Structure 1
Amino acid sequence: MNQKPQKEGDSSLPIESKSKELLQLASRTNASDIHFVPLRNQGMIQLRVDGQLHPIEKVPYVFFERLVSHFKFKAGMDIGEKRRPQDGSMDLDLNGTLLHLRLSTLPTAFHESLVIRLLPQSGPAHFESLALFPHSLKGLHSLLNRSSGLILFSGPTGSGKTTIMYSLLQYLQTKDTINILTLEDPVEKKMDLFLQMEVNEKAGITYGEGFKSLLRHDPDVIMIGEIRDEATAKLVIRAGMTGHLVLSTVHAEDALGCLYRLVEFGLSVQEIEQTLLGIVSQRLLSLTCPYCGTRCEPYCFMRRHDKRMGLYELLSESGLEKGMEWIRGNSDRPDGLRTLNYFMKQGMALGFLPMNTLHRWGVDR
């Protein structure tokens, strides 16, 4: 990837102006994060664009420290505490673009490091428009018409699991008048169409306790940010069995791996079979840029469409039945499924994805 040369930052700008300049640059380049990295005698600022970190500039340490303190103050963090990690958040209107910022500090061997996650608050796109191959999600329509059951999503951090769940909830709410409740850690995007609750362990709101509270609030559809333990898994299964449609995520490499994870959580094959409607496994991948070559240069503004799109593997109906037979030990790992690897090969053959995509993101069988 061609990259702009790293430069020494302009430390003559007032802190307020510099902070706004960085946020505008991050927003303009669709960066997901801003990294403030302390070095021995100076600080480096980086942007994560399309999953890749790009050095932007280096600034004198005194200026770097003031910049970090400025963001901490704005986010309601303790600017005097530099020995312990801290978390904070703030909302920002940047030239009409609403952003929710999540801040995280970390004491390091040199000085304090800061990472700012940028979460645009615009409404999610229709779920089929998120996919490089929209037909891969066609089967979701029939699953969403069910009044009860469980739909699971898996993928690495930052692969868009929350985005597609928001999009599906928006689709459900606009299709019918229903009560949709979410339990998230944290709430990434504040939506008007459904009620959102945030995990707060200091206040006793764990995933398990929060989920029990949601069930008492007469929900039709429930979104749980993540199934983390056996207790939450059993609550989710019970909700799916008693007339609720539940969407949640599980850490697994692919759709079949999700089945193993559910068994590891102590669920019986019978419970899974009675409740699970489908599994979506996904990756968010960089597209080949027609102007820059294999990878798009972060300052390329010629191409205004998305530089990354989702690849989705949907396991449902007959495919899910084959997966359950495999989990029982009655058959070999099922072949002939349209897996993530299948769609990666399709994308590479059509020139949408770089030729190293399968090597980098493929699922080992």
Structure 2
Amino acid sequence: MSVEKIAELLIGQAVKNNVTDVHIVPKEKHYHVQFRQYGRLYPHRNLSAKAGERLISHLKFMSSMDISEKRKPQSGSFAINVLQQAVSLRISTLPTSLSKESLVIRILPHEEQFQLSQISLFQSSTKKLMALLNHSHGMLIFSGPTGSGKSTTMYTLVEHCAKRFLRNVITLEDPVEKQSDSFLQVQVNEKAGITYSTGLKAILRHDPDIILVGEIRDAETARIAVRASLTGHLVLTTLHTRDAKGAIYRLMEFGVSIHEMEQTLLAVSAQRLITLRCPVCGGIRCPHDCPGSRKKRQTAVYELLYGKNLQRVLKEAKGEQVRYHYPTLKEWLRKGIVLGYISEEEYHRWIAEEEEADKPQTTGALSYPGR
């Protein structure tokens, strides 16, 4: 079987089963393929060493990566048509100790359009997010771990603004995760001279209303996002932190001052994807032949930090003694259990993940109260 056919069948099976990520992991004598479905990894199949290497090389070529480079991590993306629908694929490679590469495919269906009513379990969160987008300038940060739906939230919100409110939205991404006809998308390409810094300068001259910066990943992109919001634009971006308050301390690690945050930061949202109980069988991971599995069974829960509570957290970061309270992710999840949307199993799985993340780390990162 040709490598093109192997790739087509693998991606087709993943799309058919609502898989979000495909992992191709090297072993000593073969490659192990895993599917991430509804937040969990499941074994799919094994490939021979030869077939696995050919498949990885093919996907790297399709993503415009350097096929000969196997010692450095690379990333790229491309779009294909599978099962009569357009799909964007974000590809990431990582060298391993076996002198082979591991490859992960993030699957982003083009037709998977979310309505505002679908992005959050609680409509009060959606209404607040939309109210924040009415600001003409400032910065909104969407935080959470990888795979928590941050990009989907941002895309849904800005597509609504572009279509309903006729606002000019321009994105600066590395890589562009999902193609959209609703706004302009700029791909960071350092080889071509389009860095985050040069890209932002060009975007600012293009009369944007909203600027979407894919991710704050270092001090440079943090400064760029802050600078853009100070110039009178609304900036949306993502950050990898566990909760909303943690984003404040992460920005401090990147060299953003409290004064700059007071001038620019409108709100921080921390989110998690949760799997809803199946309306047919009552479970959260029912078999594929259960009618409930054919429906969208994942949505997000948001922890929103804004207004007076945000100002108090900023004062706390300066060392002042303050008192405040806002609904946390844990409180929202408990509410979901009471209303019957979330199972106790899903809640305890989330608690176990949080406890694992609470174990002492040796990263030297700034600590904050309650961490």
TM-score by length of 1: 0.85
Q: Aligned match of 2:192 in 194, 198, 203?
A: 203
In structure 1, the residue matched to 2:266 is 277
SS at match of 1:156: coil
Structure 1 residue 340 displacement after superposition:
0.9
In structure 2, the residue matched to 1:360 is 352
* Rg larger for: 1
* Higher RCO (C-alpha 8 Å, min separation 6): 1
Are the equivalent residues in 2 in contact too, given 1:341–1:362 (CA < 8 A)?
Answer: no
Q: Work out whether 1:147 is the aligned partner of 2:139.
A: no
Partner Cα distance (1:249, 1:105) in 2: 22
Partner Cα distance (2:104, 2:317) in 1: 41
Q: Work out whether 1:308 is the aligned partner of 2:298.
A: yes
Matches within 5 A, 1:304-343: 304-332=294-322, 334-335=324-325, 337-343=326-332
Q: Aligned match of 1:25 in 10, 13, 16?
A: 13
- Paired amino acid for 2:128: G
- CA gap of 1:359–1:195, structure 2 versus 1, over 3 A, is same
In structure 2, the residue matched to 1:215 is 204
Structure 1 residue 30 displacement after superposition:
1.0
SS at match of 1:318: helix
Q: Give per-residue Cα distances to partners, 1:115-170, cap 9 Å, x unaligned.
A: 32222123641334111222223212321111111111111111111111111111
- Paired amino acid for 2:254: F
- Paired amino acid for 2:20: S
- What are structure 1's unaligned runs of at least 5 residues? 1-12
Moved more, 110-119 or 313-322: 110-119
Q: Work out whether 1:34 is the aligned partner of 2:40.
A: no
Partner Cα distance (1:59, 1:172) in 2: 45
- Paired amino acid for 1:334: Y
Structure 1 residue 294 displacement after superposition:
5.3
- What are structure 2's unaligned runs of at least 5 residues? 359-369
Partner Cα distance (1:139, 1:105) in 2: 38
Partner Cα distance (2:216, 2:69) in 1: 33
Moved more, 188-197 or 119-128: 119-128
- CA gap of 1:34–1:262, structure 2 versus 1, over 3 A, is closer
Q: Aligned match of 2:235 in 246, 265, 270?
A: 246
RMSD: 2.8
**Identity over aligned residues, as a percent?**
44
Are the equivalent residues in 1 in contact too, given 2:90–2:177 (CA < 8 A)?
Answer: no
How many residues align? The count is 352
In structure 2, the residue matched to 1:44 is 32
Partner Cα distance (2:284, 2:117) in 1: 24
SS at match of 1:311: strand
Partner Cα distance (1:239, 1:204) in 2: 19
SS at match of 2:146: coil
